[in-house]
Amino acid sequence: MSNHSHDAQHPLNAIEHAEGNVVLEGIKAIAQGFATVLKHHPREAVTLEYPEVMPELSDRFHGRLSLLSKSDDTDLCIGCQACARVCPCDDLIQIDMHRDDDKKPVVTRFTIDMGRCIFCGNCTEVCPVDCIKMLSDFELADYSREALVLDKKDLTLSGQESDEWRAKRGYTPTVL
**Residues in contact with ligand SF4 by the rule CB under 6 A:** 65, 77-83, 86-89, 92-93, 95, 112, 117-123, 126-127, 129, 131-132
Closer Cβ to ligand SF4, 112 or 157, answer by number: 112
**At closest approach, how far in Å is the CB of 75 from ligand SF4?**
9
Residue 173 near residue 71 (C-beta atoms within 8 A): yes
- Of 175, 156, 165, which Cα lies nearest the Cα of 60? 165
**At closest approach, how far in Å is the CB of 83 from ligand SF4?**
3
**At closest approach, how far in Å is the CB of 88 from ligand SF4?**
6
Ramachandran angles phi, psi of 13, nearest 5°: -65, -40
Q: Give 7's contacts (C-beta < 8 A, 6+ positions apart).
A: 13
- Rounded Cα distance between 81 and 136, Å, is 24
**At closest approach, how far in Å is the CB of 167 from ligand SF4?**
20
**At closest approach, how far in Å is the CB of 68 from ligand SF4?**
9
Radius of gyration of the CA atoms of the chain, in A: 31
Residue 121 near residue 131 (C-beta atoms within 8 A): no
Residue 133 near residue 65 (C-beta atoms within 8 A): yes
- Rounded Cα distance between 53 and 161, Å, is 23
